[in-house]
Amino acid sequence: MKTIQAVARYLPEKCGGIQIRLSELLPLLQTYGVESKIAAAQDSKCENTYVHNGIEVYRYPVFPTPKAEPNHGESPHGRFEFFAHWLKEQKADIYHQHQWTPKCGLSHLRLAKELGMATIVSIRLPTPVCQRETLMLNGQEVCDGKIDEVRCSRCCGVPKSLSDVAIRNLANTPLFISNLASGLIHQLDKVPVQVNTNVTGLLTPLSMPAYVAARRNGLLEMAKFADRIVTLSERLYETLLLNGVPQEKLLICKTGVPDFFLASTQNKEQESNNTLKVVFLGRWNRNKGIHIIVEAIKSLPTTLPIELTIHGSAVDEEKYRQEILKSIENEPRIHVAQTLTRDELPTVLAKYDVLALPAQWFDVRPMAVLEAHALGLPVLGSDVGGVNELIKHNVDGLLLPPSNIPAWAEALSLLAINIDFLSKLREGIQPIRTMSVEAADTVAIYQNLLPSTK
C-alpha cells in the first residue's frame, strides 16, 4: 500500500505537533506494509527532495506566498504545477492530507481525487470551521462551531449596528474585494489607533462575511472530495455534522502517546521541602493561556510552597512573550526554561508534579495531557473542548474556567497544601492510548478504503 501524506511544511524545518507526531507515526505504519511519502509545501520557487527519519520528503514550491484567506485557498497557489506533476507520477493508493491551508488545501485534495486516489483529510485544528480559529464565541465562551455569516462575522468584529440582512448580502462580496479590504486593514495597524478603529469599522464588513461564507463552502468542498474526514475529538465530530458534513464520511481516530513515553514512566517522590512543581509546555501564544497561570501564581501568598516552570516552544507572538517575561521579573517562583527536544521531554517532564494547560481556545486533542498522564502527572486544564475530553475532573486532574484567574489560583493552592489530594489524582490516571494502537487504527481506515482489501 502506497500513501502520500500531505502537510503545509515539514521537518527538519521548525514545525508543530502535526508534523512531529506524523514523523513518529509513519515508521509504525511501515511495519504494516504501508509505504509513505511526505508532500510538504515550502516558500520557494524551486522543488527539492530529501529523506528524513527514513521517509522520503518532497517539498513542492509555493510562490508567491498566497493570502491567508480563504483559509483553504481560493485557487491553486503559485507553482502548483510542480505539485501536480509530482503527484501524478506517484501512482499512490491513498492521499492523506493533514492540514487545511492555502499551501495544502482544496486544490491538492481535488487533484488527488481526480487522479483516482482514495482521499482522507485529518482535521487536527478548528481552523476549517472557525473564522477566529479558536471556537470561542467572541473570544470568551465555548462555541458550538456552527458556521453562520451573521454570528461569525459579528464575532470577528463586524459592527452590531449593521443589520443581519446587510451582513448576509455582504457575504456575497467577491473575494478579490474582500482581499483588498483585508489588506488595507493590515496596513492600518501602523497608523494611530483612532484612525485605525474608524476605518477598520468600515472595511471589516467588506472582508469578514465573505470569508465566513468561503470557509463554509470550503468545508463542504472538502466533504465532496474526501472519501473520509478524520478528526481526533468527539466534540469536533459533532461540530462537523452540524455544518453539513455527511456522517458516513466522518471518523474519529485519536492520537496516542509514543511508546518511549511509557518506557520513561517512573514513580516520583515529593521533595523534602514539599514544593509543588508545576510545568507548562507549549508555544508562546496568547491562546495557550500562559498569562493565566502566571497571574494565578503571582496572586498566591509568597509563603505557599509552589514553583512554575515554563518550557516554551515556538514563539508565535514575540510581543506576548516579552509581556510575560516582564511580568515575572520580580517573581522568583516562576522560571522560564529551555525548549525541550522530544528525547528530553519524558525525563524532564517526569520531574514535575502537575501540568498546567490553561488553553484559551478549542485545543482539539492536546498531546501534552496524554504525555503528562503517561508519566503520572495530573493535569490542570481549561474546561474547553478537546481538553475536557481528556481530563476527568477530580479523578486525574481538574477542569477550570479558562480565564478565571482566582479559580486557577485556588486549584494551585489546594494542590500545594493537600499532598493527599495530589496523590489521589495521580492514582486516578488510567492507562494511556498508545501510538501503536493509533497506527493499527490508521491502517484499518486505509484498508477499508481500498476495494482489494475489503
DSSP 133-195: SS-EETTTEE------HHHHHHHTT--TTS-HHHHHHHTTS-HHHHHHHHHHHHHGGGS-HHH
User: How high is the pLDDT of residue 316?
Assistant: 84
The pLDDT tens digits of the residues spanning 92-117 come to 999 999 999 999 999 999 999 999 99
Rounded to an integer, what distance in angstroms lies between the CA atom of residue 370 and that of residue 385? 15
Q: What confidence tier does 192 reach under pLDDT thresholds 50, 70, 90?
A: low
Give the torsion sign (CA, 415, 345, 360, 228).
Answer: negative
The pLDDT tens digits of the residues spanning 2-37 come to 999 999 999 999 888 899 999 999 999 999 999 999
Domain ranges of the chain: 2-130+215-256+435-453, 260-427
Does position 197 have pLDDT exceeding 60, yes or no?
no
Answer yes or no: are the C-beta atoms of 10 and 57 closer than 8 Å: yes
User: Which fold would CATH assign to domain 2-130+215-256+435-453?
Assistant: Rossmann fold (3.40.50)
The pLDDT tens digits of the residues spanning 343-380 come to 899 999 999 999 999 999 999 999 999 999 999 999 99
Fold match, 2-130+215-256+435-453 / 260-427: yes
Cell of 327: 511580568
Say if strands 48-52 and 55-61 run parallel, antiparallel, or are unpaired: antiparallel
The pLDDT tens digits of the residues spanning 384-432 come to 989 999 999 999 999 999 999 999 999 999 999 999 999 999 999 999 9
User: Number of helices (H) and strands (E), helices first, in the chain?
Assistant: 16, 16
The residue ranking higher by pLDDT, 405 or 187, is 405
User: Which fold would CATH assign to domain 260-427?
Assistant: Rossmann fold (3.40.50)
